[in-house]
Copies of this chain bind each other. A is one copy, B any other.
Amino acid sequence: MRLNRYFLSHTKNIKDALISLSTVSSTIILGIDPGSLKTGYGLIESSGNRLRFLECGTIKTGGGPLPPRLKIIFNDIRKVVQHWSPDEMAIENVFLARNPDSALKLGQARGAAICAVMAEDIPVAEYTANQVKQAIVGKGHAAKTQVQHMVKVLLNLSETPQSDAADALAIALCHANTNKTMTELKSKASERYPAEVLGAIRGRRKKRFTL
C-alpha cells in the first residue's frame, strides 16, 4: 500500500507506475529443453537489464519403459520448481519432429515437464528453436556450439554448460529478452497512444505470449 502511494505520487498515473514496477522487479525464469532420455533445465533471474545465472542441470532418465522415466522428469522438475519458485517457464515448441516414434516420446517428456510446472500454477511460454537462436545468436540457423558459447558469455559463466542444460538456459534467455522487449514496447506505446489503442495492442499480444 505504501509502495503504491509512493509510485502514484511520483508518476502520472497507475499505468506508468505498473510499468516502472515491472522494469525494476526481478523475474525468475525456468527454461526447459525436454527429451525422453535427457531433459535439460536452466534457471536465470532477470532484473531490468541484468541477467543472473541461478542453476542448470540435466535430468537423465535411462532406458526401459517410458512411464517411470516420465515420473523421474515430473518429480525432478517439480523439485526444481518448489526450490526456486520461478515466476515464468519457457519451453521449446517443436513443429517438425523427425518421425512419429520420436515425436511420441518427445511429446510425453514435454507433457511431463509442462505438467510439473503447471501443477504449481506457473505460466508457460513456448518458443520455436529458430526464435531461441535468433534471440541468443542473432541468426535463426545458428549452430548448437554458437548457442552454447553465447549462453556462457551472456550469463558470465566460468565454463560452458552441457548441451541440454545450455539449450534450456538459451530458452530462458530468449524468454527474458522477449519479456524485456515487450516491457519497453509497452512503455513506449503508453507515451504515444491513448489508453484504448494500448488496450487493443496488449490484448492481441497477451493471446500470443501468455496462456
Contacts and interface: CB of A to CB of B under 8 A. Distances in A.
A48 interface: no
Contact of A98 (B100, B101, B107): B100
Interface stretch (A13-21, A110-118, A132-140, A178-186): A110-118
A67 B110 CA distance: 10
Contacts of A103: 97, 100-101, 103-104, 107
Main secondary structure of the interface of A (DSSP, over half): helix
A35 to B, nearest CB: 12
B211 A115 contact: no
* Number of copies of chain A assembled together: 2
Interface in A92-110: 94-110
A52 B49 CA distance: 62
A119 B75 CA distance: 8
A105 B108 contact: no
Contact of A126 (B67, B105, B106): B67
Interface residues of A, number: 34
A38 interface: no
Given A95-B101, A97-B100, A100-B98, A68 B111 contact: no
A65 interface: yes
Contact of A107 (B95, B108, B126): B108
A111 B211 CA distance: 20
Contacts of A41: none
Given A99-B100, A100-B99, A114 B108 contact: yes
A124 interface: yes
A74 B115 CA distance: 7
A71 interface: yes
B96 A100 contact: yes
Given A68-B211, A103-B103, A108-B110, 5 more contacts: A67-B211, A97-B100, A104-B110, A106-B107, A108-B108
5 contacts: A67-B118, A103-B107, A104-B104, A104-B110, A110-B111
